[in-house]
Structure 1
Amino acid sequence: MADTPPGPKGEPLFGDSRRYARDPFSFIAALEGTYGDVSRFNMGPLDTYVLCAPEAIERVLVSEADEFRKPDFQGDALGDLLGDGLLLSEGDTWERQRDLAQPAFSMRRLAGMAGRVTDHAEARIEPWQPGETVDVETEMTRVTLDVILDLMMGVQLPDDRVRTIQEQLEPLGARFEPDPIRFAAPEWAPMPGDAEFERAVATLDDVLDEIIAARAGTTGDEDGPMDFLSVLLRARDRGEQSPDQLRDEMMTMLLAGHDTTALTLTYTWYLLSEHPEIERRVHEEVDTVLDGERPGGEHVQALDYVERVIQEAMRLYPPVYTIFREPTVDVELAGYGIDAGTTLMLPQWGVHRSERFWDDPETFDPDRWLPERASERPRFAYFPFGGGPRHCIGKHLAMLEAQLIVATVASEYRLEYVGETPLELHPSLTVHPRQTMEMRVTERSENS
């Protein structure tokens, strides 16, 4: 067993953090392409091991998940933002909160909510006019916010409050852009953007306070509404949920619950615009399956090609481009000994685009998700939702929502990307396009 994985030689003090911050996507791809299964680099003072071996990733996330934990973010900005919500909590807190959340995310409940997802999609595209240009990222963010507010919080906010939420997303995201100065500086050191971040958090806290106050007394008994906020409010009334925990769960749900789905849809529309033949197949399937009806839960299973398109969009542009873990005990992974407490990076970006696991990995090819082709790949060559006990609890909602929104829009319109090319990416907690995603709305004819 080798002692230390190979990797680039970094600079004094900054390590490889400046290269990583300039373009984490190219940096991750270069590590995977050069070193393969495992490599090592310095994120400023932080020694980081990068795992790109599907078998090792599966061990970390699934078969040996009890020996790994999420790094402690509670002392940094992510902890300030999300606190002890489902995304960051550990141990007994996470298990208790996950158990509380499960009924809100049950497949049976979500299937019954399909019509409401379509309602929100139709309402958001109703003002569109053929020939106009829309910012599709903004539009998809609006509809996914509508869905998460309705299905998980039991509210529908007026447009001005939804815009208030949207306006906070940029200063929040800016705080999590890779920054070599932040990597090297102590957490307490003031940095540019901190004040804007704090104001954005405070504004969202005010919005959540309004929602929680509006829902108080409306949740009924245990047979009442099963949206996540109702479940938590009943737990609070029983003395089983503190105000801080309730706030952390709602902030996590608000942000994590809409962002990745909005980005998946944004990249889906971009890729379809760039590949007219694939777009044509989507329109054909939508027309055949819907047969003039509104998209509903009864149609989702038959939207096979739409599902493959969405899966392929998440492969090429995984909204979460890397996740982190640290072992709680000394372990061996991919032939290397790794000490407890070491930071492990599991990069979707590097693995999803690896030539070792994918034929023509840069090509948009939804048919690579046909069962006979998908079975040839390692299971964790693709993990947009993580995996194991800590997999994204909203996975099924995200896929249901994405398919219904694609079917709703595609049944009426074509979206043609007219923004700047080539597409550039902006790293934060998630992968955003740098460009404004301008798309021209074209009303579909029967043969388009």
Structure 2
Amino acid sequence: MTASPPGPRGEPLFGSSRRYAKDPFRFLSACESAYGDIVEFKLGTLPTYMLTNPTDIERVLVSEADNFRKPDFQSDALGDLLGEGLLLSEGETWEKQRELTNPAFAMGRLANFADRIVDHADTMLSGWADGQRVDVEQEMTAVTLDVIADLMLGVELSEERIETVRRSLDPLGAQFEPDPVRFATPNWVPMPGDREYQQALETLEGVVDDIIAERRGTEGNPEADRGADVPMDMLSILLRAQERGEQSAEQLRDEVVTMLLAGHDTTALTLTYTWYLLSEHPSAREKVHEEVDSVVDGRPTMDDVRQFEYTEWVIDEAMRLYPPVYTIFREPTADVELAGYPVESGSALMLPQWAVHRSERWWDEPAQFDPERWTTERQQERPRFAYFPFGGGPRHCIGKHLAKLEAQLILARTASQYELEYARDGHFEFRPSLTVHPKDGMPMTVHER
């Protein structure tokens, strides 16, 4: 067994972090193409191993998931923001919270709320007009915040609150953009942007406190949860658990912040990139319009979603080309062998959706937008974890079903009325943070059909 995997030569102190920070997407793809299944490099002084073979990724996320945890460095960076919410918590805390909140995300529950999702889409569309130019990223952010607040927190966010949350997202996200200085600097050292981050965090916590106070005032008797009409949104479940002494105020806050941020972001970005890709590929856009027109009678329903085929393929293909979460990190809890090489406990494992989703080893013409690669026959030709936008295994995204349902309903409702056209020349640039954002929004012109 060779002593160490191949990988790019780094610099003293910084390792490969400067190349990674300059363009993480190009770096990830270049490493996958040049070195294959496993790549070793350093982010600052942190030994990092990138895994790009679906078999190894499935092993880390699924078959041996208990041997790999969320890494300490990621918890340190996100701890102030998300605390011990579902995204970061480990062990018994995570298991308890996951089991407690699962009913809120059950497909049987979500299927009853298709009308409410479409209501939020209607509200968005009521502000559009033929020929108007809109920032689709902002529009999708607002509508998905509306949906997550309604279905998971049981509140209606005012336009002012939505704008307050939206304004907080940029300074919060900036804290997690790849930065070689941050990679090489202890967390306690002050850095540019820290003040803006803290201010945005305090603003967001103020919104969350208001939401919790509002719901606590209307929740009523928690012992009524044996009744037939008990609300089963996530916040109601957590408030009842708190009344039973099973949920601290801090844990409750962490879960609400996590849901408010993570619960809308990936869906908003999926829709943003879907609209861009449809604008750039008119034949695919026409097929979506044809399917929506043939299936939907009036407003899209849950029964319509069950009939969608091409529409779902388009969304899956958007998440392949532009996965909102572009890499997942894990940390082995003990020394382990991966892809034929020894990896020490405490090292960072990088599982990059961006590189794997675009690899020529797993995909035909991976740079091409091809929704029909999602036919059953073609899917069976690929390894299972050649595509993992929602992660996998016990820690897969709890909101996966909501995200897919929401994206299809909002896409169908919008496409039934409007055609969207990208309003810039040339390709947009990316802004990498915890998720992949277009650098300067996504301006599009809406044309009434």
TM normalised by structure 1 equals: 0.98
Q: Which residue of 2 aligns with 1:132?
A: 132
Q: Which residue of 1 aligns with 2:15?
A: 15
Deviation at 1:238, TM superposition (A): 0.5
Deviation at 1:76, TM superposition (A): 2.7
Counterparts in 2 of 1:244 and 1:288: CA distance versus 1, 3 Å = same
Q: Deviations over 1:382-431 (max 9, x none)?
A: 00000000000000000000000000000000000012422211100000
Q: Which residue of 2 aligns with 1:295?
A: 300
Q: Is 2:323 aligned against 1:318?
A: yes
Q: Deviations over 1:308-363 (max 9, x none)?
A: 00000000000000000011122111111111111100000010000000000000
Q: How far apart in 1 are the matches of 2:425 and 2:253?
A: 39
SS at match of 2:274: helix
Query: Which amino acid in structure 1 is aligned with residue 258 of structure 2?
Result: T
Which piece of structure 1 moves more, 28-37 or 69-78? 69-78
Q: How far apart in 2 are the matches of 1:212 and 1:75?
A: 24
- Contact 2:75/2:88 (<8 A) preserved: no
Consecutive aligned runs of 4 or more in structure 1 exceeding 3 Å deviation: none
Q: How far apart in 1 are the matches of 2:325 and 2:443?
A: 22
Q: Is 2:249 aligned against 1:250?
A: no
Q: How far apart in 2 are the matches of 1:336 and 1:255?
A: 37
Which piece of structure 1 moves more, 130-139 or 412-421? 412-421
Which piece of structure 1 moves more, 332-341 or 47-56? 332-341
Q: How does 1:53-64 map to 2 (within 5 A)?
A: 53-64=53-64
SS at match of 2:161: helix
Q: Which residue of 1 aligns with 2:118?
A: 118
Q: Which residue of 2 aligns with 1:277?
A: 283
Deviation at 1:434, TM superposition (A): 1.1
Report how many residues are paired.
443
SS at match of 2:275: helix
Q: How far apart in 2 are the matches of 1:303 and 1:187?
A: 47
Q: How far apart in 2 are the matches of 1:49 and 1:379?
A: 21
Q: Which residue of 2 aligns with 1:305?
A: 310
- Contact 1:419/1:436 (<8 A) preserved: no
SS at match of 1:98: helix
TM normalised by structure 2 equals: 0.97
Q: Is 2:250 aligned against 1:239?
A: no
- Contact 1:74/1:80 (<8 A) preserved: no
Q: Which residue of 2 aligns with 1:96?
A: 96
Deviation at 1:435, TM superposition (A): 2.8
Q: Which residue of 2 aligns with 1:41?
A: 41
Q: How far apart in 2 are the matches of 1:47 and 1:422?
A: 34
Q: How far apart in 1 are the matches of 2:74 and 2:241?
A: 24
- Contact 1:73/1:88 (<8 A) preserved: no
Counterparts in 2 of 1:94 and 1:247: CA distance versus 1, 3 Å = same
Which piece of structure 1 moves more, 216-225 or 242-251? 216-225
Query: Which amino acid in structure 2 is aligned with residue 243 of structure 1?
Result: A
SS at match of 2:72: coil
- Contact 1:7/1:31 (<8 A) preserved: yes
Any unmatched runs of 5+ in structure 1? none
Q: Is 2:231 aligned against 1:225?
A: yes
Q: How far apart in 1 are the matches of 2:96 and 2:424?
A: 45
Q: How far apart in 1 are the matches of 2:72 and 2:448?
A: 49
Deviation at 1:72, TM superposition (A): 1.9
Counterparts in 2 of 1:42 and 1:164: CA distance versus 1, 3 Å = same
Deviation at 1:142, TM superposition (A): 0.3
Q: How far apart in 1 are the matches of 2:374 and 2:141?
A: 26
Q: How far apart in 2 are the matches of 1:171 and 1:294?
A: 37
Q: Is 2:363 aligned against 1:358?
A: yes
Q: Is 2:268 aligned against 1:286?
A: no
- Contact 1:60/1:68 (<8 A) preserved: yes
Q: How far apart in 2 are the matches of 1:171 and 1:70?
A: 24
Q: Which residue of 2 aligns with 1:194?
A: 194
Deviation at 1:74, TM superposition (A): 7.2
Q: How far apart in 2 are the matches of 1:436 and 1:391?
A: 28
> Identical aligned pairs, as a percentage?
66
Q: Deviations over 1:160-205 (max 9, x none)?
A: 1110010000000111000001111111000000000001110010
Query: Which amino acid in structure 2 is aligned with residue 102 of structure 1?
Result: N
Q: How does 1:332-343 map to 2 (within 5 A)?
A: 332-343=337-348
Deviation at 1:374, TM superposition (A): 0.5
Deviation at 1:46, TM superposition (A): 0.7
Query: Which amino acid in structure 1 is aligned with residue 210 of structure 2?
Result: E
Q: Deviations over 1:191-243 (max 9, x none)?
A: 00000000111001000110100111433522410000000000000010000
Q: Which residue of 2 aligns with 1:402?
A: 407
Q: Which residue of 1 aligns with 2:266?
A: 260
Q: Is 2:213 aligned against 1:208?
A: no
Which piece of structure 1 moves more, 217-226 or 264-273? 217-226
Counterpart of 1:379 (choices 377, 380, 384) is 384
SS at match of 2:349: strand
Deviation at 1:57, TM superposition (A): 0.2
Q: How does 1:386-425 map to 2 (within 5 A)?
A: 386-425=391-430
SS at match of 1:113: helix
Any unmatched runs of 5+ in structure 2? none
Q: How far apart in 2 are the matches of 1:420 and 1:434?
A: 15
Q: How far apart in 2 are the matches of 1:410 and 1:74?
A: 39
Deviation at 1:75, TM superposition (A): 6.0
SS at match of 1:76: helix
Query: Which amino acid in structure 2 is aligned with residue 40 of structure 1?
Result: E
SS at match of 1:39: strand
SS at match of 1:441: strand
Q: How far apart in 2 are the matches of 1:420 and 1:26?
A: 22
